[in-house]
Structure 1
Amino acid sequence: MIKTGVPYGSDVSAGKYRCDDCGYIYTNQSKTSLPPCPRINQIPHYRHSWTILNGQGDAKIDPYPYGR
């Protein structure tokens, strides 16, 4: 299942993620928090989120780490 709009800083497991602003593909090899897109200083970013292409997304206890 593809989930969009997963904000930077969300807790995720290993998987592949696509930036919702520029399409950059990020592969995460271990459980961690999603970083900001590495292209954020090169291309304007407004959504500040990722689409989960595979892997697990936000934990229900921490769906939006920045209080969204």
Structure 2
Amino acid sequence: MVQKFAAYGSDVSAGTYKCADCGYIYSNQSKKSLPPCPEHNKKPHSKNGWYVVSGQGDSVKDPHHTKK
């Protein structure tokens, strides 16, 4: 199963997201852009984004939209 990916700063719907680098779980209750992972400065991060666990994920109209 391929998980949908949303980069930091992507406009997303409410849902749950998992850091693509360290697995940190982030829940977003309202539509807003995704922040960097809170562990970003503590552990090496190279993917700089989130996997969509639940919710709609990255909007196609978002300027940060990615097809990863």
TM-score of the superposed pair, with normalisation by structure 1: 0.85
In the alignment, is the contact (CA less than 8 A) between 1:18 and 1:26 conserved in 2? yes
Residue in structure 2 matched with residue 9 of structure 1 by the alignment: 9
How many equivalent residue pairs? Answer: 64
- 1:19-56 per-position Cα deviation (integer Å, ceiling 9, x unaligned): 00000000001110000000001001000010000001
Deviation above 4 Å: which 4+ runs of structure 1?
Answer: none
Q: CA RMSD in A?
A: 1.6
Query: Aligned-pair distance for 1:60?
Result: 1.3
Between the aligned partners of 2:51 and 2:63, the Cα distance in structure 1 is: 14
Q: List runs of 5+ in structure 1 lacking aligned partners.
A: none
> Which amino acid in the other structure matches residue 15 of structure 1?
G
Percent identical across equivalent pairs? 58
Q: List runs of 5+ in structure 2 lacking aligned partners.
A: none
> Which amino acid in the other structure matches residue 35 of structure 2?
P
